[in-house]
Amino acid sequence: MRWFQEKLYEHHKQALSIDTVHYHWRTEFQDVLIFENATFGKVLVLDGIVQLTERDNHIYHEMIVHVPMLAHGAARNVLIIGGGDGGALKEVLKHPVERVTLVELDDEVISLSQLYLPNVSDGAFIDPRASVQVMDGTRYVEQTREKFDVIIIDSTDPLGPGETLFTAAFYEACRRRLRPSGIIVVQSGAPFFQPKELEMVCRSLSESFDGVRPYLAPVPTYAGGMLALVAAGASRDALRPPCKVLRERFRPLQGQTRYYTPEVHRAAFTLAPIFAP
């Protein structure tokens, strides 16, 4: 049996059996590997790091999207940086938004994801409300004059092309692109193995936002089975509204999520201090 080994952290690695390799090539920006695993289905790996699997990506995409969208409650204009697999885009389009702009650096990730992992985006890229820009997210945020209600940073980790998306300067540029009561969420890695990354994201966001809160999503194929996300906005309470409010806002989405519920939304912030700085 062949194995894919993800060796991200000192003295720890995780392995997934490779039943079939569907694709393995280097794009202009990164090494792309897509393989079949008997438990998780197709697996997308960028530069040796698991990005998503068919079996558990819904947990991550529901939690990076519905937490800020339902905390905001009336988002009409949304920006996604990264997310070339289309999973976050699909979840945003479940809301009554007017426009979603997805800014992805590597158009080969978009085309390969649609070819090998079509269920992840599930047609989101052809939704008339979706607009896709192929460019660096930092450059887009500097150049655009648009104002957004929610910004989602669905990027790779702070190494290689993703590095520029983890700076205080970038978060300040994002704050300037947010409308009042706007919310930003940043994927912040495996908290048990990358506590410094989580601390850095919280600290950098705190330079621009009054309310900064980490929350957790249990994703079996991320190292340690847990992913940290950090939400930031005008106040900490705004990120975790009362259950009654969330239930009312969630009603139109009832039956369209497999993991996210209003109760999970609130619990995800409660669990975070286990790792949060």
Active site amino acids:
154
Strands 49-53 and 12-18: unpaired
φ, ψ at 31 (rounded to 5°): -85, 125
* Stretch binding ligand SAM (CB under 6 A), from 157-165, 210-218, 232-240, 250-258: 157-165
Which among 17, 75, 82 has a CA at the least distance from the CA of 51? Answer: 82
**Residue in 161, 211, 233, 241 binding ligand SAM, rule: CB under 6 A:** 161
**Contact pattern from residue 108 through residue 137 relative to ligand SAM, giving x for each residue in contact according to CB under 6 A and a dash for the rest:** -x--------------------------xx
For residues 46-105, which are near ligand SAM according to CB under 6 A? Answer: 46, 51-52, 60, 81-85, 103-105
Place of tokens 């819904």: 58
Q: Are strands 49-53 and 41-46 parallel, antiparallel or unpaired?
A: antiparallel
Instruction: Tell me the closest approach of the beta carbon of residue 153 to ligand SAM, in angstroms.
Output: 9
Cα-Cα end-to-end distance for the chain? 40
Both tokens assigned to 58: 């819904």
Has 122 been labeled as part of a binding site?
no
Using the contact rule CB under 6 A, the part of the chain among 115-123, 160-168, 233-241, 267-275 near ligand SAM is 160-168
Compare residues 119 and 164 and give the one whose CB is closer to ligand SAM.
164
Per the CB < 8 A criterion, the answer to whether 226 and 216 are in contact is yes
Selected binder of ligand SAM within 56, 62, 149, 154 (CB under 6 A): 154
Nearer Cβ to ligand SAM, position 107 or 248? 107
Sheet of 227-233: strand order equals: 130-134, 99-104, 77-82, 148-154, 178-187, 227-233, 211-217
Q: Tell the smallest beta-carbon distance from residue 44 to ligand SAM (Å).
A: 6
Among 16, 34, 71, 165, which residue interacts with ligand SAM (rule: CB under 6 A)?
165
Residue closest to 156 by CA, chosen among 231, 217, 227, 56: 227
Residue 12, marked binder: no
Non-local (6+) Cβ contacts of 224 within 8 A are 190, 191, 192, 193
Sites of contact with ligand SAM (CB under 6 A): 46, 51-52, 60, 81-85, 103-106, 109, 136-138, 154-156, 161-162, 164-165, 187
Please report, in range form, the residues annotated as the binding site: 30, 61, 85, 104, 136-137, 154-157, 161
Please report, in range form, the residues annotated as the binding site for S-methyl-5'-thioadenosine: 30, 104, 136-137, 161
